[in-house]
Structure 1
C-alpha cells in the first residue's frame, strides 16, 4: 500500500476566497454568517446564511465554459486551481489516466428549479437551453472539472448528505493507496442559495438567533438552537508519497486513516453508533490510539441533538484524554456537502500556519460539552494528528485522520 500525502489544497468559502484569506479568518475567529433579506422576504423562518463575498463569476473561464457550471461548480474550479498551483501541477500533468477527480456533492437545486420555471413560463422546453442538463445533475462538479482538466482516470461524485466531502477524500485516498491512481483531486462543493435550503428551513433545522448573525452558530453551547446553512467549495490534491518525492514538491500533510459507518436507523436523528465505528476504524487504519490525536475538528453543527450525540461519542472514545476540540462551523456555518472537505483543508491551513482555531460563541457549556476540551481561544501551535468527523442525514458517518509535520 502506498502512503497518501496532501500536496495541494484550495478553498472558496464564506471566510474568504483562497487559503490565505480563510487562514486569516480562522486565526482571527471571524464569522462569515449574515442575515439574507431575500430569505426574509420569501417567508423563511430563518434569514441566516453564510455569504461568499467578492467572487466575480465573470473572472473565470470563458462564457461558453461557464454555461454548464452553476456557481458552486465554479467555486470548485477555483479551489482546484489553487490546489493544483500549490501542488505544482499543470493541466498537462493531470491529463491522462493516472489522475482522477472525486467530489462530494448532493444537490444542484437552483439549476433544476430555473429549468422548471422556464417551462412553466413559456409552455415549452426548448427555451431551457442545451447546457442546462449538465448543471442540474448531482455529478455536475466532477463532470465539468473532469472535462476542463482532461481527467481520464476516476471521475465521479459521492452523494452522502453532509458526509459527502469526507467520503470523497477517503475514497480518493483509497484509490491512491491501492495504486489504482497516482493522484486524485478531491473535495466537496455546496451551493449557497436559498433554493437549496428551503426544505431545511421547513424542517425547523436552522437557528432562529438572527439578532447578531455572527453569534448564531454556537456548536456545543447549551444555547444552540439550530444550524446555519453555508457553502462554497474545498479541494485537495492527494498523491502517493513516491510520486510527490519524485516531483520534489513540498508535502503539506498525509491521510493516515479513514473510517466510515452508518447508524442504520433514523433518517434525521443521529444515534452516534455509526460515528463511533467510523472514528475507531480511522484510528485503527492509522495505527494510532486516542492519545495520539492532538486536535479534533468536530462535525458539530450547532443542533441540540447532533452536538450532544457527537459529544457523547468523543467521551466514550477519548475518555479522560480529551484532545483540544473545536467546530469550525461556529465561524462558517454548516457547509453541508462541502463541510468535510472544508474541515480537511482548514486543518491543513492551520498546520501550515502553526495554530488551531477556536470554537467561537462557546460560552455556556452543557453537561456533556463541559467534559470536552473545547477550545475557546486560539492555540498558537498547529496540529500534528487531527481527527475530522462528519455525519449526515440517513445516518451516514465518516472520519479522517490527517498527519502533519511541524
Structure 2
C-alpha cells in the first residue's frame, strides 16, 4: 500500500476565494452567512445563506464557460490554485496516472434554465448546446477533464452531503492501491435559491433572520436549523514517494478513510453509523482514538443531526473527546462540498498554525454535552485530524489526516 500525500489545496467559499483570506476568517471566527431578501419575497421561510463574493469568472473564456455551471467554474479555479500550490505543471498531469473525482449531487439551476427557455421560446433548439453539459451531475469532472487534459480516472461521486468526503477518500484509495499516482479531487455546491426551495419547505433552515452571523449554532442548546451555503474545494493527492522524489512540499498526509451507511432512515441519522465510519478510518490510519487531537465535525446546527453526531463521537472516544469544532458555524452547510472543504480548512489551519472555533456555541443541550467544543481560537495547528461528513440516506464518510 502506498502512502498518500496532500500537496495542494484550493477553495472558493463564503469565507473567501484564496487560502490567506479564508485562513484569516477562520482564525478570527468570521461568518460568511448573510440574509438574502429575495428569498423572502419568493416565499421562503428563511432568507439565510452563504454568499460567494468577489469571484472573477473571467479566468475562463465565455466559450469555455458555455458548458459550465457556476460551481464548475469555481471548481476549476480551486483546481488551478491547488495545482499551482503543488507545483504541478500542465505537462505533469497530462497522462493516464492523473485522475479526477469530485463530489456533487445536483446541478439544479441549469436544469431549470433549459426548461424555462423551452417554455418561453416554444422550441427545444433555442435551449443551446451548452445546457446539456451544465445540467449533468458530472458537469465538474467532464469539464475539468477537458480543461486540464488529465487522462486517468474521471468521474463524479453522488452521496448527498458526504459526496466531497467520499470523493477524497476514494481518490486516496486509488493512490494507495497503485491505480493512480496523483488525484485532483474535491467537491462543489451551487449557491442559489432555486436549489434550496425544498430544503426550506422542510423547515430545515434556521429562522434567526435578524442575526445571520449568529444563526448557525452547531451543538448549541439553542440551535434551530442549518444555513445553506456552498462553493468549491479541491485537494491534490499524490503518491507520497513520488511527491518526495520531485521535491514537492508535502502539507499533510491522508492516513485513513472510513465509510458506512446507517441502513435505517432517509433523513434521521443513526447513533452508530458515523461511529462505524470513524472507527474504520482510524483502523486504516493505524492510529488510536486517543491520538486524534482535533475533530472537524459535520454538525450542521440541526437538533437531530448534531445530537446523533455527538452520540457517535462519545461512542468512539468516551468521556475524553479531542478538541471539536464545526466550521459550519462560520460557513453554513456547504452540502455536497462540505466533506472536501473540511480537508482544505484543516490543511489551512495546520499550515497557518491555529485551530478555528465553533462560533455561536454558548451551552450544550443534554444530547450534545460531553464534547470538548472549541469556543476560542487555539493558537497552534492540528496534528492528527478526523473529519466527518454525513448525508441523507445515512451515508457517512470519515477521513484521518496527519500534519507535521
Counterpart of 2:49?
A: 49
Deviation at 1:122, TM superposition (A): 1.2
Counterpart of 1:208?
A: 207
Deviation at 1:364, TM superposition (A): 2.1
Preserved CA contact (<8 Å) 1:262 1:273:
no
CA distance in 1, matches of 2:368, 2:361: 10
Deviation at 1:203, TM superposition (A): 0.9
In structure 2, the residue corresponding to 1:6 is in which secondary structure?
strand
Deviation at 1:325, TM superposition (A): 0.2
Deviation at 1:123, TM superposition (A): 1.1
Preserved CA contact (<8 Å) 1:105 1:157:
yes
Show structure 1 runs of 4+ deviating over 4 A. Answer: none
CA distance in 2, matches of 1:311, 1:250: 36
CA distance in 2, matches of 1:156, 1:10: 19
Superimposed CA distance per residue, residues 287-326 of structure 1 (whole angstroms, 9 cap, x where no aligned partner): 1111000000000000000000000111111012211000
CA distance in 2, matches of 1:150, 1:265: 41
CA distance in 2, matches of 1:37, 1:247: 51
> 2:135 aligned with 1:136, yes or no?
yes
Counterpart of 2:377?
A: 378
> 2:18 aligned with 1:18, yes or no?
yes
Listed as ranges, the gaps of 5+ residues in structure 1 are none
In structure 1, the residue corresponding to 2:257 is in which secondary structure?
strand
Counterpart of 1:328?
A: 327
Counterpart of 2:292?
A: 293
Aligned residues: 404
Deviation at 1:272, TM superposition (A): 2.9
CA distance in 2, matches of 1:372, 1:274: 18
Superimposed CA distance per residue, residues 35-82 of structure 1 (whole angstroms, 9 cap, x where no aligned partner): 00111111101000000111122x211110010111111110111011
Counterpart of 2:71?
A: 72
CA distance in 1, matches of 2:94, 2:197: 39
Counterpart of 1:250?
A: 249
TM-score (ref. length: structure 1): 0.99
CA distance in 2, matches of 1:7, 1:302: 32
User: Superposed, which structure 2 residues align to 1:163-178 within 5 Å?
Assistant: 163-178=162-177
Counterpart of 1:31?
A: 31
Preserved CA contact (<8 Å) 1:297 1:388:
yes
Moved more, 106-115 or 267-276: 267-276
Deviation at 1:369, TM superposition (A): 2.5
CA distance in 2, matches of 1:91, 1:132: 28
TM-score (ref. length: structure 2): 0.99
Counterpart of 1:222?
A: 221
Counterpart of 2:8?
A: 8
Counterpart of 1:179?
A: 178
In structure 2, the residue corresponding to 1:370 is in which secondary structure?
coil
> 2:90 aligned with 1:91, yes or no?
yes
Preserved CA contact (<8 Å) 1:218 1:360:
yes
What is the aligned-residue RMSD (CA, Å)? 0.7
CA distance in 2, matches of 1:209, 1:194: 18
CA distance in 1, matches of 2:380, 2:371: 19
Superimposed CA distance per residue, residues 124-151 of structure 1 (whole angstroms, 9 cap, x where no aligned partner): 1111101110000000000000110001
In structure 1, the residue corresponding to 2:232 is in which secondary structure?
strand
Superimposed CA distance per residue, residues 155-208 of structure 1 (whole angstroms, 9 cap, x where no aligned partner): 000000000000000000000011110000000000001111111011111111
Preserved CA contact (<8 Å) 1:97 1:151:
yes
In structure 2, the residue corresponding to 1:272 is in which secondary structure?
coil
Deviation at 1:356, TM superposition (A): 0.2
CA distance in 1, matches of 2:33, 2:181: 38
